[in-house]
Structure 1
Amino acid sequence: MTDEQTPLQIVEAEIEKTCKIARRKRDEVTLIAVSKTHPPQRIVPLLEQGQRVFGENRVQEAQDKWPALREQYPDVELHLIGQLQSNKAEDAVALFDYIHAVDRPSLVKALAKAMDKASRKVPCFIQVNIGAEEQKGGCAIADVSTLIEQVRSADIPLAGLMCIPPFDTEPAPFFAMLDKLARDNGLDGESDQEGGGLSMGMSSDYATAIMLGATHVRVGTALFGARG
């Protein structure tokens, strides 16, 4: 690291290097800058450096800060990466370009209704509880196939699968498991077209995720620093 390098440049260089090692093209991986809990004045420097894809955990927080930012930067792509309550489906469909945590039939129904009402189709990832952790969201591995069919039947664009591996555990086996789940269900893990996206990897493990097929990495701390 040199004094001239910004956190974004460091992360971008690591993604570029990892893609070369994995024999993948750089444009196969989308960097989502996780801006949750950070105020607009912390986000603007990344926008000024050219970053255009951002992730938020909560609908209300995103509503509070992104409409004004989007007036200045209308080409921003916004991803909802946190859990979504069904009663917030309409707000989420209105604001976000991707939704990453679809994990139950009731949410599929709420999103389908909201998309029909808004005449706007928002691609969605199915979140898989890859470590079978009771405290985490995500559908059970055994339910993935059924939920995929429900999403498709509801005419919701399927972006792919998403996971968050157990904390303080080697993530590679879980990333590999998500990739296998995608392939077992006929999803092409090499692109985010027609359900082949793999949203996995965060600040501590995004390089590992890219090696194992990630198409979207969700990076917060490495770009913004630790949250206070």
Structure 2
Amino acid sequence: MRQAVDLKFLKDKTVYKLSDAGILEDVGDIYSLTPEVLLAQGLGEVQSANLMQAIDASRSRALEKLLVALGIKHLGPAAAESLARRFGSLDAVASASVADLAAIDGVGDVIAESVAKWFVDKRHKSIVTKLRKGGVRFDNVTVIDAPQTLAGKTLVVTGTLAKFGREEAERAIKDRGGKSAGSVSKKTFAVVVGNEPGASKVKKAEELGVPQIDEQAFEHVLATGELPA
């Protein structure tokens, strides 16, 4: 439970104590805690104050982090972020069909079915209700202002780039509406080749005739969505 809401001041022994007292049954109950309850359970004033401050801060966590915090089977950070960006709120994710969920890049059938199943469970509906009553934001999504130059395009990054770390390069692609894939296929728009690239990816690109571009060309693609002339 402590890990689920990322509250470093909520120690495991505190969770056990509050659970044994019937105060905490699930993650939703965290948002009904008060300083008086914590003090009555033997927490010190400083620890109680720190915990209440952390709880308050967690009410405005990003939607993708909230989705991960729910502990939905198979749903990791990457897929949660894709869902958050596509649907924009927890309520929209909860009401989406399996087909709509599965259609999101990086989600697929297994995760989609797990997400849909989680939200129809009565116990989980109760958790969502508690979170809502506790003032947790359901629509805190980072707005991306980058032009969608790569919408519908798939790129593969291999090797080390000078200006982009691997995650930064993938984020730059996704922020512009593209897909950052781990393998090369005939649908790949281009392979970004840095220092010490993966030999198998380079070979596959050559076999399929997929364009290979350097970092400078990658920056051009990010800006325009087109390969350099």
TM-score with structure 2 length normalisation?
Answer: 0.22
Report which of the two structures shows the higher radius of gyration computed on alpha carbons. Answer: 2
TM-score with structure 1 length normalisation?
Answer: 0.23
Structure number with higher relative contact order (C-alpha < 8 Å, ≥ 6 residues apart) = 1
Counting helix residues as a fraction of each chain, which structure ranks higher?
2
